Amino acid sequence: MTYFQAAAAILGFADRPLTVGELTSIAVAQGFIHPRGRTPDRSMSSVLYRRMAADADAPISCEDGRFWLRGRPRPEQAARVLRPRVRRIYRHTLRDRVRAASSTVRQPTQLPPPPFIVPLPEGVAPVSFVHSSRQDRAIARLDVGLRKLCQRLAVATEAAKDWDVDRTRTKAVGPLLTLLGYRRMDQQPLPAVHARRGYVLLAGGAPAVLVESFRASHQLTDADAKPLLGRAKVSGVNWAMLTNGWELRLYALNIARNGDDLAGALVFRVNLLDWRDEDERLEISTLLWLLSREAVRQGALDAYLAARAVGAALLAAFDDPESEVLRALAHSVAAQTGLRLSPSTLARQARLAVRGARGRDGEPAAEDVVSVALVQSEPESQPVERATLLLA
């Protein structure tokens, strides 16, 4: 769970508004969060206040330093809890403040005891909560920013018809690059070309992606990619991106070198406004995360392209009865089990094997047992004593 998710879950069971310290102590005691720092209450406070400042309709509200779920009826004792308290005013000279700030060392927070324990479903332990990875949290933040950007772009759709390439860069492309984590110093402009503007994005201080933007009304085509890939080769980058502020196309220079088919060099294309629900928007956010500065620096684009190539090679091998991959699989299966399977059945089992995770000994997951067992045999196949298929 994130800090915000933990706070929302706790406030759903609270009988009164809670302070940051109380929220944090419950979240730590229940195992909802696993802080790495020494001041988890400050992290919780930062997360909650930033969310409320960014979203006026945030599900959590705050009054007098205590938090409550927005829209949930307040208990009767809430008025007494939120009653203003007398605060003592301390007056210090500027010299005292500077001396105190220079000599103060941040101490670990002593959290108060949790005022209550969140009732969990029967048989569910706190450790069973799935904690999202760093990539999942980055994609979730990107999804929130993408939703806000799409709202602004949707409002400006009519006005964007009159935008030139520079206006499109300022209104649409620039905010998108900022959302992906590229600061102004990470964007090196290239010499201007008619009807397009080029930039080289730096990731980890090295050139990584070439971006060329057009005016918002320009319809992107594969013909636009040919000069793009040429400039990417001169710039020394392996990735090139076309965008008009709404649509985005990513090309791989390594694929383009293998042939003249520009459409084959297209890695993926997304339309920022072409989604119907949150799941489709999350898929777009996941693809955009591959272009984020941190992901590019860690080699996420190369890993994604390698995964696609491996998958395509395996599927092509499964569709070819004479492929070396199927021959090696048939030899290994025959050596281990004595079974001789036809290429079609062997290919079907191979597709099922690479579809999801397997156990240590290759056994399928419980939910996949039926799919693996119900492999249709060919008409000429005959059953054998081992209740399997003996295929010529």
Q: What are phi and psi of 50, to 5 degrees?
A: -65, -40
* Winning range, highest mean pLDDT, from 129-133, 226-230, 289-293, 304-308: 289-293
Give the pLDDT confidence score for residue 275 in this predicted structure: 86
188 beta partners: 200
With a cut of 70, say whether residue 387 has pLDDT above it.
no
Higher pLDDT, residue 82 or 214 = 214
SS3 140: helix
With a cut of 60, say whether residue 127 has pLDDT above it.
no
- Cα–Cα–Cα angle for 357, 328, 304, rounded to 5 degrees: 45
Work out the average pLDDT over 202-213. Answer: 92
Higher pLDDT, residue 383 or 181 = 181
Higher pLDDT, residue 155 or 95 = 155
With a cut of 90, say whether residue 355 has pLDDT above it.
no
User: What is the percent of the chain where pLDDT is above 70?
Assistant: 78
**CA 177 distance to own-chain centroid:** 16
Give the pLDDT confidence score for residue 144 in this predicted structure: 87
Mean pLDDT of the chain: 80
**How far apart, in whole angstroms, are the C-alpha atoms of residue 300 and residue 282?**
18
Give the pLDDT confidence score for residue 129 in this predicted structure: 38
With a cut of 90, say whether residue 77 has pLDDT above it.
no
SS3 119: coil
Give the pLDDT confidence score for residue 378 in this predicted structure: 42
Residue 179 CB neighbours (<10 A) = 18
With a cut of 80, say whether residue 173 has pLDDT above it.
yes
Q: What is the pLDDT of residues 23-68, one digit of tens each?
A: 999 998 888 888 877 889 999 999 999 888 888 888 899 988 899 9
- Cα–Cα–Cα angle for 44, 46, 51, rounded to 5 degrees: 100
**How far apart, in whole angstroms, are the C-alpha atoms of residue 201 and residue 207?**
6
Work out the average pLDDT over 246-258. Answer: 83
Pick from 77, 64, 65, 71: nearest CA to 16: 77
Tokens 């000069």, located at residue: 227
User: What is the percent of the chain where pLDDT is above 90?
Assistant: 26
Give the pLDDT confidence score for residue 80 in this predicted structure: 54
| Listed range (5-14, 124-133, 198-207) with the worst mean pLDDT | 124-133
DSSP letter (8 states) at residue 196: B
How would residue 128 be classed by pLDDT, with cut points 50, 70 and 90? very low
SS3 162: helix
Tokens 């988890």, located at residue: 40
How would residue 247 be classed by pLDDT, with cut points 50, 70 and 90? very high
| Listed range (125-129, 321-325, 331-335) with the worst mean pLDDT | 125-129
How would residue 83 be classed by pLDDT, with cut points 50, 70 and 90? low
| Listed range (151-160, 213-222, 348-357, 368-377) with the worst mean pLDDT | 368-377
Q: pTM for the complete prediction?
A: 0.59
Q: What are phi and psi of 83, to 5 degrees?
A: -65, 130
Within 8 A by CB and 6+ apart from 11, the residues are 18, 23, 60, 67, 68, 69, 72
Give the pLDDT confidence score for residue 14 in this predicted structure: 87
Contact 208, 202 (CB under 8 A): yes
With a cut of 70, say whether residue 91 has pLDDT above it.
no
Gyration radius of the chain's alpha carbons: 29
How would residue 280 be classed by pLDDT, with cut points 50, 70 and 90? confident
How would residue 98 be classed by pLDDT, with cut points 50, 70 and 90? low
With a cut of 60, say whether residue 85 has pLDDT above it.
no
Give the pLDDT confidence score for residue 31 in this predicted structure: 83
Give the pLDDT confidence score for residue 279 in this predicted structure: 80
**How far apart, in whole angstroms, are the C-alpha atoms of residue 137 and residue 62?**
24
